[in-house]
Structure 1
Amino acid sequence: MTAHQNDTISVEVSNFLLSCFVGSPSWQLWLSLPLSFLFLLAMGANGILLITIWLEASLHEPMYYLLSLLSLLDIVLCLTVIPKVLVIFWFDLRPISFYACFLQMYIMNCFLAMESCTFMVMAYDRYVAICKPLHYPSIITDQFVAKAAVFILTRNILVTVPIPILSARLYYCGRTVIENCICANMSVSRLSCNDVTINRLYQFAGGWTLLGSDLILIFLSYTFILRAVLRLKAVGAVAKALSTCGSHFILILFFSTILLVFVLTHVAKKKVSPDVPVLLNVLHHVIPAALNPIVYGVRTQEIKQGIQRLLKKGW
């Protein structure tokens, strides 16, 4: 192959084409409406939650700062993925530039890992609140939240940055159609002419190191919480303690259930339509984001009261 031919090929792969639902193109028509609704719900609900926590002095507490961080992560994830998917659905604008694709890949991997890590810190917060209530004000402080935020950012930025770098260094020799709605690591990497074993291994090791360790620590936190709750003998104490953890547990359930189903469909990909993992991958970036603020808003009295006060001020 001549140098001129290599130059030609490099120009050809300056853009990728995102091809959603190859086996079921009709999905795009009916999916665009609920996806649009979920996107607007996620943006609106998280925006209201952030404004409420920011303006209400009574919500300037560590637990709500962590919830604000979760909302910010959800907003970034939605904006990174959903608008491009909707543009593909509505206008068939499938091209995405080489650099935009790898930027999207990095943000998705990094911010999903940050979200998982935030859930882990929130589980520790609930553990201290239930198991060490007298020490809670001295342990869970504003300084603790600041240190936790630095840890969340540093750990996940450093561990996930090799993912797009490993994919970008591959030689793409002409194939440009990504069989996905988003620039998922392996969906892009398999288009190259190189061996992608390193990419696959790092994705697997990094994913299970980050998400796996977070889920294990969350499980341990709730094991200790459940053990402490079952020892409570005061009337109504068990219900009150479980209510304190209920919102957070529901959020973790949303996040981990969709992720687990997505992993299982990949493992059993020969038995399910190839469009199913694509659909789950998209929904994983919007369903938790839409439900997280609603669950906390409905189940947390302080947030409901804060929103009501802001609405009264607005009127």
Structure 2
Amino acid sequence: MAAFNLTLSDSTTFILMGIPGLEAAHLWISIPLSMFYVIGLLGNFMILFVVGKEVTLHKPMYLLICMLALTDIGMPTSIVPRALFIFWFNLKLITLGGCLTQMFFIHLVSVMHSAVLVTMAFDRYVAICNPLRYTTIVTNTQIAKLGLMALIKAILFILPLPLLLSSLPFCANHIIPHTFCEHIGFAKLSCGDITVNRIYSLVIAFLVTGLDLMLIILSYGLIMRAVVRISSKKAHQKTLSTCTAHVCVILASYIPGLFSTLMHRFGQDMAPHTHIILANFYFLLPAMLNPIIYGMKTKELRDKMGQYTFSR
């Protein structure tokens, strides 16, 4: 209690509560949380190792898979270790700088993740709609440039978030009823005007997530139009099978996020701890499922991963 009183008088220190209302179950909740995290780390590091080791996999598609694996490592790593410190050791204090840093990396990696999915959709579009020019349009160098552009875009869009928050005054309430620092949730603790923060959050939602999703839908609309024009049923199936893994990854990435958003908008009757648990698993599930999806659906990668897994 003394630590809590000290914190409330310190304008630069906050308290992450974890999952309010389920404090007694924190240890039990940490079990699936840590398991999903470890499985995701192992799967994504395995992909990075195999692709890096095998020269035959040094192709644009596998470079994109590696970029996705990096974001799938970064997203849960921005959240889970801090949550486990709360669940296991009751270490709830976090500085303003620590909170803003965590928030920056959470949103940065989320924007990068979305950008990689768009680039993958572009890769599949060129492979199916313009196959003769695929090797000249989609090269490792081009993919690396797109990845760098995505990183720069993410930094430019996300950097204003902690800058805007750092200029806000924080008065009495320093208790964050969550396992991590999220932009609007943290902004609501301020006793100042957060209108700019709300508007900028909407701008990011429309210009980043909304636009990326529209580009993915457009890419697959053009792909479906090209597939319909193919007369051979066998060619239909072969062409669509090249998109299966990416479509599954898109669904695994966007459906939990959409579900979480709908719960926030229309699930006012739901207990707050339900929202917090959903928010945590929204970051965990794609990171755990994506390497499994690509490991199962991409034959060349599956074979190479099998060699390294069972030959040692």
> Is the TM value for this pair above 0.5?
yes
Percent identical across equivalent pairs?
35
Structure 2 unaligned residues grouped into runs of 5+: 1-5
Q: What code does the residue aligned with 2:13 have?
A: N
Q: Which residue of 2 aligns with 1:145?
A: 143
Decide whether the 8 Å contact of 1:19 with 1:179 is kept in 2: yes
Instruction: Give the distance between the partners of 1:262 and 1:269, measured in 2 at CA.
Output: 9
Decide whether the 8 Å contact of 1:73 with 1:111 is kept in 2: yes
Instruction: Give the distance between the partners of 1:270 and 1:306, measured in 2 at CA.
Output: 47
Instruction: Give the distance between the partners of 1:274 and 1:106, measured in 2 at CA.
Output: 24
* Pairing 1:1-315 to 2, within 5 Å after superposition: 12-311=10-309, 315=312
- 1:4-23 Cα shifts (integer Å, max 9, x gaps): xxxx9996132211112223
Segments of 4+ moved more than 4 angstroms: 8-11
Instruction: Give the distance between the partners of 2:185 and 2:243, measured in 1 at CA.
Output: 37
Instruction: Give the distance between the partners of 2:269 and 2:283, measured in 1 at CA.
Output: 24
Instruction: Give the distance between the partners of 1:12 and 1:216, measured in 2 at CA.
Output: 44
Decide whether the 8 Å contact of 2:8 with 2:174 is kept in 1: no
- 1:107-148 Cα shifts (integer Å, max 9, x gaps): 011110110011001000001111111111111111211221
TM-score w.r.t. structure 2 length? 0.94
- 1:192-233 Cα shifts (integer Å, max 9, x gaps): 110111111111111221000000000011111112112222
Decide whether the 8 Å contact of 1:23 with 1:275 is kept in 2: yes
RMSD: 1.7
Q: Which residue of 2 aligns with 1:5?
A: none
The size of the alignment, in residue pairs, is 307
Instruction: Give the distance between the partners of 1:187 and 1:295, measured in 2 at CA.
Output: 33
Q: Report the alpha carbon displacement of residue 272 of structure 1 after superposing the two structures with TM.
A: 2.0
SS of the residue aligned with 2:78? helix
Decide whether the 8 Å contact of 1:229 with 1:238 is kept in 2: yes
Q: What code does the residue aligned with 1:80 have?
A: S
Structure 1 unaligned residues grouped into runs of 5+: 1-7
Q: Which residue of 1 aligns with 2:3?
A: none
Instruction: Give the distance between the partners of 1:26 and 1:135, measured in 2 at CA.
Output: 59
SS of the residue aligned with 1:193? coil
Q: Report the alpha carbon displacement of residue 254 of structure 1 after superposing the two structures with TM.
A: 0.9
TM-score w.r.t. structure 1 length? 0.93
Q: Report the alpha carbon displacement of residue 271 of structure 1 after superposing the two structures with TM.
A: 2.5
Instruction: Give the distance between the partners of 1:187 and 1:137, measured in 2 at CA.
Output: 46
